[in-house]
Structure 1
Amino acid sequence: MTTNNVIATNQRDLVTVSVAGEIAHPGFPGLPAEPYRLASDGTPFLLPTYGGIVYNVSVGDPAFGWAADCVHPGISISHSDDNKNRGLNVFACIGNRARVMTGGASGAMGMVTGKSGRFSEQVIVHMSREARAQMAVGDQVLIKAEGTGLTLTEHPEVSLKGISPRLLAVLPSQEEDGHIAFGVAAHVPAHLVGAGLGLTSEGGSIHIQSTDRAILNELKLDQLKLGDLIALEDTDSRYNHGYLRGARAIGVVASTDGPRAGYGPGIAVIMTAPAGQLGSFLAPGTNLADLLEMAP
Protein backbone atom coordinates (compact mmCIF):
# COMPACT_ATOMS: atom_id res chain seq x y z
CA MET A 1 0.00 0.00 0.00
CA THR A 2 1.32 3.44 -0.91
CA THR A 3 1.58 5.77 2.05
CA ASN A 4 2.79 9.22 3.08
CA ASN A 5 3.94 10.65 6.41
CA VAL A 6 4.51 7.29 8.12
CA ILE A 7 8.28 6.93 7.75
CA ALA A 8 10.21 6.87 11.03
CA THR A 9 13.12 9.33 11.04
CA ASN A 10 15.38 11.22 13.43
CA GLN A 11 13.95 14.59 12.39
CA ARG A 12 13.65 15.83 15.97
CA ASP A 13 17.44 15.57 16.33
CA LEU A 14 18.29 17.67 13.26
CA VAL A 15 19.94 21.08 13.43
CA THR A 16 18.44 23.81 11.24
CA VAL A 17 20.99 26.36 10.02
CA SER A 18 21.08 29.30 7.63
CA VAL A 19 23.08 29.22 4.41
CA ALA A 20 23.05 31.89 1.74
CA GLY A 21 24.25 32.78 -1.71
CA GLU A 22 23.77 35.30 -4.45
CA ILE A 23 22.07 34.83 -7.78
CA ALA A 24 24.93 33.63 -9.95
CA HIS A 25 25.80 35.20 -13.29
CA PRO A 26 26.04 32.78 -16.24
CA GLY A 27 29.66 32.46 -17.26
CA PHE A 28 32.23 30.84 -19.51
CA PRO A 29 35.80 29.83 -18.65
CA GLY A 30 38.47 32.37 -19.57
CA LEU A 31 40.40 29.80 -21.61
CA PRO A 32 39.86 28.72 -24.27
CA ALA A 33 38.65 32.16 -25.25
CA GLU A 34 35.96 31.00 -27.68
CA PRO A 35 32.61 30.26 -25.97
CA TYR A 36 31.70 27.26 -28.14
CA ARG A 37 31.17 23.75 -26.82
CA LEU A 38 30.97 20.51 -28.78
CA ALA A 39 27.83 18.44 -29.24
CA SER A 40 28.07 14.65 -29.17
CA ASP A 41 28.61 14.58 -32.96
CA GLY A 42 31.44 17.13 -32.80
CA THR A 43 29.33 20.09 -33.93
CA PRO A 44 30.19 23.37 -32.14
CA PHE A 45 27.27 25.04 -30.40
CA LEU A 46 26.55 28.15 -28.37
CA LEU A 47 23.51 27.93 -26.09
CA PRO A 48 22.37 29.30 -22.72
CA THR A 49 23.69 27.23 -19.85
CA TYR A 50 23.54 27.14 -16.04
CA GLY A 51 23.35 30.24 -13.85
CA GLY A 52 21.34 33.44 -13.65
CA ILE A 53 17.60 34.01 -13.54
CA VAL A 54 15.72 31.82 -16.01
CA TYR A 55 12.39 33.49 -16.62
CA ASN A 56 10.59 30.93 -18.77
CA VAL A 57 11.77 27.52 -17.51
CA SER A 58 10.31 26.21 -14.25
CA VAL A 59 9.92 23.03 -12.24
CA GLY A 60 7.13 21.04 -13.89
CA ASP A 61 8.19 22.02 -17.43
CA PRO A 62 9.64 19.44 -19.87
CA ALA A 63 13.28 18.51 -19.31
CA PHE A 64 13.77 18.08 -23.07
CA GLY A 65 13.20 20.31 -26.07
CA TRP A 66 14.87 23.54 -24.97
CA ALA A 67 17.58 25.31 -26.98
CA ALA A 68 19.83 25.06 -23.94
CA ASP A 69 22.73 23.19 -22.35
CA CYS A 70 21.72 21.85 -18.92
CA VAL A 71 19.86 25.01 -17.89
CA HIS A 72 18.62 25.34 -14.31
CA PRO A 73 14.94 26.22 -13.86
CA GLY A 74 14.17 29.27 -11.73
CA ILE A 75 17.27 30.85 -10.20
CA SER A 76 20.77 29.59 -9.45
CA ILE A 77 22.70 30.77 -6.41
CA SER A 78 26.29 30.42 -5.25
CA HIS A 79 28.74 32.04 -2.82
CA SER A 80 31.86 33.82 -4.06
CA ASP A 81 34.01 32.13 -1.40
CA ASP A 82 34.75 28.53 -2.47
CA ASN A 83 34.63 27.11 1.07
CA LYS A 84 31.37 28.87 1.89
CA ASN A 85 29.93 27.84 -1.45
CA ARG A 86 30.73 24.24 -0.60
CA GLY A 87 28.82 24.67 2.65
CA LEU A 88 25.88 26.11 0.74
CA ASN A 89 25.91 23.25 -1.77
CA VAL A 90 26.13 20.53 0.88
CA PHE A 91 23.78 21.87 3.57
CA ALA A 92 20.97 23.15 1.34
CA CYS A 93 18.43 20.34 0.94
CA ILE A 94 15.74 19.85 -1.66
CA GLY A 95 12.48 21.09 -0.21
CA ASN A 96 14.11 23.71 2.06
CA ARG A 97 12.49 27.12 2.06
CA ALA A 98 14.38 30.07 0.58
CA ARG A 99 13.85 33.79 1.09
CA VAL A 100 15.06 36.68 -1.05
CA MET A 101 16.87 39.12 1.26
CA THR A 102 17.80 41.97 -1.09
CA GLY A 103 16.61 43.66 -4.25
CA GLY A 104 13.25 44.26 -5.87
CA ALA A 105 11.82 40.88 -4.83
CA SER A 106 12.99 41.14 -1.21
CA GLY A 107 10.79 38.99 1.02
CA ALA A 108 9.69 36.62 -1.75
CA MET A 109 9.68 32.95 -0.72
CA GLY A 110 10.86 29.99 -2.77
CA MET A 111 12.17 26.47 -2.41
CA VAL A 112 15.35 24.51 -3.15
CA THR A 113 14.73 22.13 -6.07
CA GLY A 114 18.18 20.89 -7.05
CA LYS A 115 21.92 21.27 -7.24
CA SER A 116 24.49 21.25 -10.01
CA GLY A 117 27.88 19.65 -9.89
CA ARG A 118 31.44 20.12 -11.01
CA PHE A 119 32.30 23.36 -12.84
CA SER A 120 29.16 25.18 -11.66
CA GLU A 121 28.40 24.04 -8.09
CA GLN A 122 25.22 26.04 -7.75
CA VAL A 123 22.04 25.53 -5.75
CA ILE A 124 18.84 25.70 -7.79
CA VAL A 125 15.89 27.52 -6.26
CA HIS A 126 12.32 27.78 -7.49
CA MET A 127 10.79 31.24 -7.31
CA SER A 128 7.47 32.26 -8.80
CA ARG A 129 7.60 33.85 -12.25
CA GLU A 130 6.30 37.07 -10.69
CA ALA A 131 9.18 37.15 -8.20
CA ARG A 132 11.76 36.32 -10.88
CA ALA A 133 10.62 39.34 -12.89
CA GLN A 134 11.63 41.58 -9.97
CA MET A 135 14.99 39.94 -9.22
CA ALA A 136 18.51 40.80 -10.35
CA VAL A 137 21.79 38.95 -10.58
CA GLY A 138 23.58 39.48 -7.26
CA ASP A 139 20.45 39.47 -5.08
CA GLN A 140 21.04 37.53 -1.87
CA VAL A 141 18.95 34.45 -1.10
CA LEU A 142 18.83 32.88 2.38
CA ILE A 143 18.01 29.19 2.83
CA LYS A 144 16.73 27.66 6.05
CA ALA A 145 18.75 24.47 5.70
CA GLU A 146 17.38 21.34 7.35
CA GLY A 147 18.02 17.75 6.35
CA THR A 148 21.74 17.04 6.66
CA GLY A 149 22.02 14.12 9.09
CA LEU A 150 18.49 12.88 8.38
CA THR A 151 18.15 9.08 8.63
CA LEU A 152 15.45 6.46 8.24
CA THR A 153 15.56 4.89 11.69
CA GLU A 154 13.96 1.62 10.56
CA HIS A 155 16.00 1.45 7.34
CA PRO A 156 19.52 2.59 8.31
CA GLU A 157 21.08 1.04 5.19
CA VAL A 158 19.41 3.74 3.09
CA SER A 159 21.58 6.86 2.90
CA LEU A 160 19.70 10.14 2.57
CA LYS A 161 21.39 12.89 0.55
CA GLY A 162 20.29 16.50 0.61
CA ILE A 163 16.59 15.81 1.16
CA SER A 164 14.51 17.87 3.57
CA PRO A 165 12.10 16.27 6.04
CA ARG A 166 9.39 18.28 4.27
CA LEU A 167 9.99 16.46 0.98
CA LEU A 168 10.53 13.03 2.54
CA ALA A 169 7.16 13.27 4.31
CA VAL A 170 5.20 13.67 1.06
CA LEU A 171 6.96 11.09 -1.11
CA PRO A 172 4.81 8.10 -2.09
CA SER A 173 6.27 5.08 -0.30
CA GLN A 174 5.57 1.48 0.60
CA GLU A 175 7.17 -1.46 2.37
CA GLU A 176 8.33 -4.31 0.14
CA ASP A 177 9.65 -7.52 1.72
CA GLY A 178 11.30 -5.72 4.61
CA HIS A 179 12.75 -2.83 2.64
CA ILE A 180 11.34 0.56 1.74
CA ALA A 181 10.39 1.68 -1.76
CA PHE A 182 9.49 5.10 -3.13
CA GLY A 183 7.36 6.14 -6.07
CA VAL A 184 9.16 7.53 -9.11
CA ALA A 185 8.16 8.82 -12.52
CA ALA A 186 10.74 6.68 -14.34
CA HIS A 187 13.55 4.15 -14.00
CA VAL A 188 16.91 4.83 -15.65
CA PRO A 189 19.18 1.86 -16.51
CA ALA A 190 22.79 2.07 -15.40
CA HIS A 191 24.22 2.35 -18.92
CA LEU A 192 22.49 5.71 -19.33
CA VAL A 193 24.05 7.21 -16.20
CA GLY A 194 26.77 9.60 -17.37
CA ALA A 195 28.62 12.73 -16.30
CA GLY A 196 29.14 12.89 -12.55
CA LEU A 197 30.21 9.27 -12.10
CA GLY A 198 33.20 9.09 -9.80
CA LEU A 199 32.49 12.45 -8.18
CA THR A 200 31.25 13.05 -4.64
CA SER A 201 27.57 12.55 -3.94
CA GLU A 202 27.49 15.23 -1.24
CA GLY A 203 26.01 18.07 -3.24
CA GLY A 204 26.20 18.33 -7.01
CA SER A 205 24.48 16.20 -9.63
CA ILE A 206 24.80 13.27 -12.00
CA HIS A 207 23.48 13.21 -15.56
CA ILE A 208 21.34 10.97 -17.72
CA GLN A 209 23.13 10.48 -21.05
CA SER A 210 20.81 11.62 -23.82
CA THR A 211 22.79 11.06 -27.03
CA ASP A 212 20.91 7.83 -27.88
CA ARG A 213 17.48 9.30 -28.59
CA ALA A 214 16.04 5.95 -29.64
CA ILE A 215 16.55 4.36 -26.22
CA LEU A 216 15.23 7.48 -24.50
CA ASN A 217 12.07 7.24 -26.60
CA GLU A 218 11.75 3.51 -25.95
CA LEU A 219 11.96 4.05 -22.18
CA LYS A 220 9.87 7.25 -22.37
CA LEU A 221 12.67 9.15 -20.67
CA ASP A 222 12.31 11.91 -23.24
CA GLN A 223 9.01 12.72 -21.52
CA LEU A 224 10.64 13.57 -18.19
CA LYS A 225 9.80 16.87 -16.56
CA LEU A 226 11.93 19.10 -14.39
CA GLY A 227 11.23 18.12 -10.80
CA ASP A 228 10.35 14.50 -11.58
CA LEU A 229 11.54 11.85 -9.13
CA ILE A 230 13.49 9.11 -10.92
CA ALA A 231 15.42 5.97 -9.95
CA LEU A 232 18.94 5.21 -11.19
CA GLU A 233 19.38 1.45 -11.35
CA ASP A 234 22.64 -0.24 -10.25
CA THR A 235 23.97 3.11 -9.05
CA ASP A 236 25.65 3.53 -5.66
CA SER A 237 25.78 7.14 -4.46
CA ARG A 238 26.65 6.64 -0.80
CA TYR A 239 29.99 8.46 -1.09
CA ASN A 240 30.89 8.87 -4.76
CA HIS A 241 28.58 8.10 -7.68
CA GLY A 242 29.42 4.76 -9.30
CA TYR A 243 28.14 1.52 -10.77
CA LEU A 244 27.27 -1.30 -8.37
CA ARG A 245 25.02 -4.17 -9.37
CA GLY A 246 21.95 -4.26 -7.13
CA ALA A 247 22.41 -0.72 -5.84
CA ARG A 248 19.87 2.04 -6.42
CA ALA A 249 19.77 5.80 -6.22
CA ILE A 250 16.71 8.03 -6.33
CA GLY A 251 16.93 11.65 -7.36
CA VAL A 252 15.21 14.71 -8.77
CA VAL A 253 15.47 15.94 -12.37
CA ALA A 254 17.14 19.27 -11.59
CA SER A 255 18.27 20.67 -14.96
CA THR A 256 17.41 20.40 -18.64
CA ASP A 257 18.89 18.24 -21.37
CA GLY A 258 21.99 19.35 -23.27
CA PRO A 259 23.78 18.33 -26.49
CA ARG A 260 27.18 17.28 -25.05
CA ALA A 261 28.24 13.62 -25.02
CA GLY A 262 27.80 12.07 -21.58
CA TYR A 263 25.34 14.75 -20.56
CA GLY A 264 21.60 15.19 -20.45
CA PRO A 265 19.17 16.13 -17.68
CA GLY A 266 21.00 16.63 -14.38
CA ILE A 267 19.84 14.54 -11.42
CA ALA A 268 20.23 15.63 -7.79
CA VAL A 269 20.38 12.38 -5.81
CA ILE A 270 18.36 12.35 -2.58
CA MET A 271 18.79 8.74 -1.40
CA THR A 272 20.72 5.57 -2.17
CA ALA A 273 21.45 2.05 -0.92
CA PRO A 274 24.01 -0.54 -2.06
CA ALA A 275 22.33 -3.94 -2.08
CA GLY A 276 18.57 -4.01 -2.54
CA GLN A 277 17.63 -2.15 0.64
CA LEU A 278 16.03 0.65 -1.41
CA GLY A 279 13.28 -0.04 -3.91
CA SER A 280 11.23 2.04 -6.30
CA PHE A 281 7.91 1.68 -8.06
CA LEU A 282 6.35 3.58 -10.92
CA ALA A 283 4.13 6.43 -9.76
CA PRO A 284 3.53 8.62 -12.84
CA GLY A 285 3.46 12.33 -12.13
CA THR A 286 5.65 12.20 -9.02
CA ASN A 287 7.02 15.73 -9.29
CA LEU A 288 8.21 18.40 -6.87
CA ALA A 289 5.75 20.96 -8.24
CA ASP A 290 2.81 18.89 -7.04
CA LEU A 291 4.38 17.27 -3.98
CA LEU A 292 5.46 20.62 -2.52
CA GLU A 293 2.60 22.70 -3.99
CA MET A 294 4.92 25.19 -5.65
CA ALA A 295 3.61 28.51 -6.87
CA PRO A 296 3.90 28.84 -10.68
Structure 2
Amino acid sequence: MTISVNAKDLVSVSVGGAIVHPGFPGLPAEPYRLSADGRPFLLPTWGGIVYNVSVGDSAFGWAADCIHPGISIKAADDMKNRGLTVFACVGNTAVVMTGRAQGAKGVVTGKSGRFSEQLILHFPKSVRKEMSVGDQIVVRSVGIGMLVDGHPGVTCKSLSPTLFDVLAKRTNNGKMEIGVVATIPSHLVGAGAGLSSDAGSLHIQSTDRAALAKAGLDTLRLGDIVAFEDTDSRYNHGYLRGAVSIGIVGQTDGPRAGFGPGVTVLMTAPQGELGCFPAPDANLKTLLNLED
Protein backbone atom coordinates (compact mmCIF):
# COMPACT_ATOMS: atom_id res chain seq x y z
CA MET A 1 0.00 0.00 0.00
CA THR A 2 1.40 3.39 -1.02
CA ILE A 3 1.73 5.97 1.75
CA SER A 4 1.31 9.49 0.40
CA VAL A 5 1.60 13.05 1.67
CA ASN A 6 -0.03 16.39 0.82
CA ALA A 7 2.83 17.38 -1.50
CA LYS A 8 0.61 19.46 -3.80
CA ASP A 9 -0.36 21.73 -0.90
CA LEU A 10 3.17 22.57 0.23
CA VAL A 11 4.77 25.94 -0.46
CA SER A 12 8.35 26.04 -1.74
CA VAL A 13 10.17 29.18 -0.62
CA SER A 14 13.76 30.35 -0.79
CA VAL A 15 15.90 30.54 2.33
CA GLY A 16 19.60 31.15 2.33
CA GLY A 17 22.83 31.77 4.11
CA ALA A 18 26.56 31.94 3.69
CA ILE A 19 29.21 29.31 4.30
CA VAL A 20 30.14 30.03 7.90
CA HIS A 21 33.64 30.20 9.33
CA PRO A 22 34.47 27.83 12.21
CA GLY A 23 34.73 29.80 15.43
CA PHE A 24 35.29 29.77 19.17
CA PRO A 25 33.49 31.82 21.81
CA GLY A 26 35.30 34.86 23.19
CA LEU A 27 35.12 33.55 26.76
CA PRO A 28 36.68 31.63 28.31
CA ALA A 29 39.86 33.02 26.77
CA GLU A 30 41.42 29.64 26.00
CA PRO A 31 39.93 27.61 23.12
CA TYR A 32 40.01 24.26 24.96
CA ARG A 33 36.94 22.21 25.82
CA LEU A 34 36.61 19.37 28.32
CA SER A 35 36.07 15.72 27.46
CA ALA A 36 33.73 13.44 29.41
CA ASP A 37 36.59 12.41 31.72
CA GLY A 38 37.80 15.96 32.31
CA ARG A 39 40.66 16.14 29.80
CA PRO A 40 41.06 19.41 27.90
CA PHE A 41 41.05 19.03 24.13
CA LEU A 42 41.37 21.20 21.05
CA LEU A 43 39.86 19.70 17.89
CA PRO A 44 38.12 20.88 14.72
CA THR A 45 34.46 21.55 15.36
CA TRP A 46 31.33 22.65 13.49
CA GLY A 47 31.30 25.14 10.64
CA GLY A 48 33.22 25.81 7.45
CA ILE A 49 33.97 23.57 4.49
CA VAL A 50 34.90 20.03 5.54
CA TYR A 51 36.80 18.48 2.65
CA ASN A 52 37.21 14.87 3.75
CA VAL A 53 34.12 13.93 5.81
CA SER A 54 30.89 13.14 3.95
CA VAL A 55 27.51 11.52 4.28
CA GLY A 56 28.10 7.76 4.26
CA ASP A 57 31.29 7.95 6.32
CA SER A 58 31.51 6.66 9.90
CA ALA A 59 29.96 8.84 12.60
CA PHE A 60 32.80 7.80 14.96
CA GLY A 61 36.57 7.87 15.11
CA TRP A 62 37.29 11.32 13.72
CA ALA A 63 39.65 13.66 15.58
CA ALA A 64 36.83 16.18 15.82
CA ASP A 65 34.04 17.52 18.02
CA CYS A 66 30.63 17.03 16.40
CA ILE A 67 31.91 17.94 12.95
CA HIS A 68 29.42 18.71 10.17
CA PRO A 69 30.11 16.70 7.00
CA GLY A 70 30.32 18.83 3.86
CA ILE A 71 29.22 22.45 4.12
CA SER A 72 27.75 24.51 6.97
CA ILE A 73 25.76 27.68 6.29
CA LYS A 74 24.20 30.35 8.45
CA ALA A 75 22.18 33.51 7.76
CA ALA A 76 23.39 36.98 8.68
CA ASP A 77 21.22 37.62 11.75
CA ASP A 78 19.31 35.51 14.25
CA MET A 79 15.83 36.08 12.80
CA LYS A 80 16.90 35.24 9.25
CA ASN A 81 18.88 32.27 10.49
CA ARG A 82 15.83 31.00 12.35
CA GLY A 83 13.92 31.10 9.08
CA LEU A 84 16.72 29.19 7.37
CA THR A 85 17.03 26.47 9.98
CA VAL A 86 13.29 26.01 10.48
CA PHE A 87 12.08 26.07 6.87
CA ALA A 88 14.89 24.05 5.25
CA CYS A 89 14.15 20.32 5.22
CA VAL A 90 16.40 17.31 4.77
CA GLY A 91 16.43 16.43 1.08
CA ASN A 92 15.86 20.00 -0.17
CA THR A 93 18.02 21.28 -3.04
CA ALA A 94 20.72 23.88 -2.30
CA VAL A 95 22.23 26.06 -5.04
CA VAL A 96 25.50 28.01 -4.85
CA MET A 97 24.86 31.62 -5.90
CA THR A 98 28.32 33.21 -5.67
CA GLY A 99 31.97 32.30 -6.04
CA ARG A 100 33.87 29.81 -8.18
CA ALA A 101 31.30 27.05 -7.56
CA GLN A 102 28.36 29.20 -8.64
CA GLY A 103 25.51 27.10 -10.02
CA ALA A 104 26.53 23.88 -8.25
CA LYS A 105 23.70 21.97 -6.60
CA GLY A 106 23.75 20.22 -3.24
CA VAL A 107 21.35 18.70 -0.72
CA VAL A 108 20.31 19.53 2.84
CA THR A 109 21.45 16.64 5.07
CA GLY A 110 20.95 17.90 8.62
CA LYS A 111 20.66 20.66 11.18
CA SER A 112 23.11 21.64 13.86
CA GLY A 113 22.33 21.93 17.54
CA ARG A 114 22.28 24.67 20.13
CA PHE A 115 25.15 27.20 20.18
CA SER A 116 25.87 26.78 16.46
CA GLU A 117 22.46 26.83 14.73
CA GLN A 118 23.74 25.93 11.29
CA LEU A 119 22.33 24.09 8.30
CA ILE A 120 24.37 21.16 6.98
CA LEU A 121 24.63 20.58 3.21
CA HIS A 122 26.20 17.90 1.04
CA PHE A 123 28.14 18.87 -2.06
CA PRO A 124 30.52 16.57 -3.98
CA LYS A 125 34.14 16.83 -2.82
CA SER A 126 35.18 18.23 -6.20
CA VAL A 127 32.75 21.12 -5.70
CA ARG A 128 33.88 21.77 -2.14
CA LYS A 129 37.39 22.46 -3.40
CA GLU A 130 36.03 25.38 -5.42
CA MET A 131 34.00 26.88 -2.57
CA SER A 132 34.98 29.62 -0.16
CA VAL A 133 33.85 30.76 3.27
CA GLY A 134 31.24 33.46 2.65
CA ASP A 135 29.81 31.97 -0.55
CA GLN A 136 26.06 32.54 -0.67
CA ILE A 137 23.80 29.49 -0.96
CA VAL A 138 20.03 29.43 -1.54
CA VAL A 139 17.93 26.48 -0.37
CA ARG A 140 14.69 25.70 -2.17
CA SER A 141 12.84 24.83 1.01
CA VAL A 142 9.72 22.67 0.95
CA GLY A 143 8.30 20.29 3.53
CA ILE A 144 6.96 22.45 6.35
CA GLY A 145 3.26 21.67 6.74
CA MET A 146 3.58 18.14 5.37
CA LEU A 147 0.93 15.65 6.51
CA VAL A 148 0.92 11.89 6.01
CA ASP A 149 -2.34 10.60 4.55
CA GLY A 150 -4.08 8.17 6.88
CA HIS A 151 -1.66 8.79 9.75
CA PRO A 152 -2.82 11.97 11.54
CA GLY A 153 -0.84 11.11 14.67
CA VAL A 154 2.49 11.37 12.83
CA THR A 155 4.17 14.80 12.81
CA CYS A 156 6.76 15.55 10.13
CA LYS A 157 9.80 17.58 11.19
CA SER A 158 12.41 18.93 8.75
CA LEU A 159 11.37 16.28 6.22
CA SER A 160 11.11 16.99 2.50
CA PRO A 161 8.64 15.16 0.24
CA THR A 162 11.63 14.06 -1.84
CA LEU A 163 13.15 12.17 1.08
CA PHE A 164 9.80 10.85 2.33
CA ASP A 165 9.11 9.25 -1.05
CA VAL A 166 12.33 7.18 -0.96
CA LEU A 167 12.27 6.10 2.69
CA ALA A 168 11.58 2.42 3.28
CA LYS A 169 8.12 2.39 4.85
CA ARG A 170 5.07 0.24 5.38
CA THR A 171 1.75 0.12 7.24
CA ASN A 172 1.33 -2.49 9.95
CA ASN A 173 -2.02 -2.70 11.77
CA GLY A 174 -2.64 0.97 11.09
CA LYS A 175 0.82 2.04 12.26
CA MET A 176 3.33 3.59 9.85
CA GLU A 177 6.71 1.90 10.13
CA ILE A 178 9.99 3.31 8.76
CA GLY A 179 13.08 1.28 7.84
CA VAL A 180 15.98 2.20 10.13
CA VAL A 181 19.58 1.17 10.63
CA ALA A 182 19.33 1.16 14.42
CA THR A 183 17.12 2.06 17.38
CA ILE A 184 18.36 4.34 20.16
CA PRO A 185 17.10 3.47 23.67
CA SER A 186 15.83 6.41 25.69
CA HIS A 187 18.66 6.25 28.24
CA LEU A 188 21.14 7.09 25.47
CA VAL A 189 19.39 10.33 24.45
CA GLY A 190 21.78 13.20 25.12
CA ALA A 191 22.17 16.91 24.35
CA GLY A 192 19.13 18.54 22.79
CA ALA A 193 16.54 17.03 25.13
CA GLY A 194 14.16 19.76 26.24
CA LEU A 195 14.96 22.01 23.27
CA SER A 196 12.93 22.81 20.16
CA SER A 197 12.66 20.03 17.59
CA ASP A 198 12.21 22.28 14.55
CA ALA A 199 15.68 23.68 13.98
CA GLY A 200 18.28 21.64 15.83
CA SER A 201 19.60 18.20 16.62
CA LEU A 202 19.23 15.52 19.28
CA HIS A 203 22.47 13.81 20.25
CA ILE A 204 23.20 10.21 21.18
CA GLN A 205 25.06 9.62 24.45
CA SER A 206 28.34 7.91 23.57
CA THR A 207 30.53 8.13 26.68
CA ASP A 208 29.59 4.56 27.69
CA ARG A 209 31.04 2.68 24.71
CA ALA A 210 29.88 -0.69 26.04
CA ALA A 211 26.27 0.52 26.15
CA LEU A 212 26.67 1.98 22.68
CA ALA A 213 27.94 -1.33 21.30
CA LYS A 214 25.22 -3.30 23.11
CA ALA A 215 22.58 -1.17 21.38
CA GLY A 216 24.30 -1.68 17.99
CA LEU A 217 25.07 2.02 17.61
CA ASP A 218 28.88 1.93 17.45
CA THR A 219 28.91 1.40 13.67
CA LEU A 220 26.54 4.22 12.72
CA ARG A 221 27.35 6.22 9.60
CA LEU A 222 26.58 9.81 8.77
CA GLY A 223 23.28 9.78 6.92
CA ASP A 224 21.88 6.67 8.63
CA ILE A 225 18.15 6.64 9.37
CA VAL A 226 17.58 5.82 13.06
CA ALA A 227 14.74 5.64 15.58
CA PHE A 228 14.57 7.02 19.13
CA GLU A 229 12.54 4.97 21.60
CA ASP A 230 10.21 6.74 24.06
CA THR A 231 11.02 10.15 22.57
CA ASP A 232 8.36 12.72 21.74
CA SER A 233 9.66 15.47 19.45
CA ARG A 234 6.42 17.16 18.38
CA TYR A 235 7.41 20.47 19.96
CA ASN A 236 10.43 19.88 22.20
CA HIS A 237 12.49 16.70 22.52
CA GLY A 238 11.42 14.82 25.65
CA TYR A 239 10.83 11.42 27.23
CA LEU A 240 7.38 9.91 26.70
CA ARG A 241 6.81 6.20 27.11
CA GLY A 242 5.61 4.65 23.83
CA ALA A 243 6.53 7.63 21.68
CA VAL A 244 8.85 7.16 18.70
CA SER A 245 10.93 9.64 16.70
CA ILE A 246 12.68 8.92 13.41
CA GLY A 247 15.79 10.88 12.42
CA ILE A 248 18.96 11.04 10.40
CA VAL A 249 22.53 11.05 11.73
CA GLY A 250 23.86 14.44 10.67
CA GLN A 251 26.99 15.09 12.79
CA THR A 252 29.93 13.08 14.08
CA ASP A 253 30.74 11.97 17.60
CA GLY A 254 32.74 14.17 19.99
CA PRO A 255 34.66 13.84 23.27
CA ARG A 256 32.20 15.83 25.41
CA ALA A 257 29.68 14.10 27.66
CA GLY A 258 26.24 14.01 26.05
CA PHE A 259 27.52 14.96 22.60
CA GLY A 260 27.74 11.78 20.59
CA PRO A 261 26.48 11.77 16.99
CA GLY A 262 23.83 14.45 16.35
CA VAL A 263 20.51 13.42 14.81
CA THR A 264 18.02 15.61 12.93
CA VAL A 265 14.49 14.40 13.69
CA LEU A 266 12.29 13.78 10.64
CA MET A 267 9.10 12.30 12.11
CA THR A 268 7.59 11.78 15.54
CA ALA A 269 4.43 10.39 17.13
CA PRO A 270 3.44 10.19 20.81
CA GLN A 271 1.24 7.11 21.19
CA GLY A 272 2.29 4.18 19.06
CA GLU A 273 1.28 5.63 15.69
CA LEU A 274 4.87 5.39 14.41
CA GLY A 275 7.22 2.40 14.41
CA CYS A 276 10.26 1.02 12.67
CA PHE A 277 11.78 -2.11 11.16
CA PRO A 278 15.38 -3.09 10.36
CA ALA A 279 16.77 -1.68 7.11
CA PRO A 280 20.59 -1.89 7.26
CA ASP A 281 21.09 0.12 4.05
CA ALA A 282 18.82 3.04 5.03
CA ASN A 283 21.35 5.82 4.49
CA LEU A 284 20.87 9.20 2.85
CA LYS A 285 23.78 8.62 0.46
CA THR A 286 21.98 5.63 -1.07
CA LEU A 287 18.45 6.98 -0.76
CA LEU A 288 19.25 10.24 -2.60
CA ASN A 289 22.13 8.95 -4.77
CA LEU A 290 24.57 11.49 -3.36
CA GLU A 291 27.80 11.89 -5.31
CA ASP A 292 31.08 11.57 -3.37
**Normalised by the shorter chain, which TM-score bucket?**
over 0.9
Give the corresponding residue for 2:135.
139
Runs of 4+ in 1 over 6 A off after TM superposition: none
Which residue matches 1:284? Answer: 280
Amino acid across the alignment from 2:169: S
Secondary structure of the 1:271 match is strand
Q: Does 1:247 align with 2:243?
A: yes
Counterpart-to-counterpart distance in 2, 1:254 and 1:49? 14
Query: Match for 2:60 among 53, 58, 64?
Result: 64
Superposition map of 1:235-274 within 5 A: 235-274=231-270
1:93-242 alignment, distance < 5 Å: 93-242=89-238
1:45-74 Cα distance to aligned partner (Å, 9 max, x none): 000000000000000000000000000000
Q: Please report the RMSD computed on the Cα atoms of aligned residues, expressed in angstroms.
A: 0.7
Q: Indicate yes or no: 2:3 matched with 1:10.
A: no
Rounded to whole Å, the distance in 2 between the matches of 1:117 and 1:207 is: 9
Per the normalisation by structure 1, the TM-score is 0.98
Shift of the alpha carbon at 1:117? 1.6
Gaps of 5+ in 1: none
1:220 Cα deviation after fit: 2.1
- The equivalent residue for 2:69 is 73
3-state SS, counterpart of residue 218 of structure 2: helix
Scaled by the length of structure 2, the TM-score of the pair is 0.99
| Structure 1 CA distance for aligned equivalents of residues 114 and 214 of structure 2 | 30
Which one of 41, 45, 52 corresponds to residue 37 of structure 2?
41
How far 1:104 moved relative to its partner? 0.9
SS in 2 for 1:64: coil
How far apart in 2 are the matches of 1:198 and 1:294? 32
CA shift, 1:115, in A, is: 0.2
Name the CA distance, whole Å, in 1 between partners of 2:152 and 2:18.
Answer: 35
Corresponding position: 1:88 with 2:88: no
Unaligned runs of 5+ in 2: none
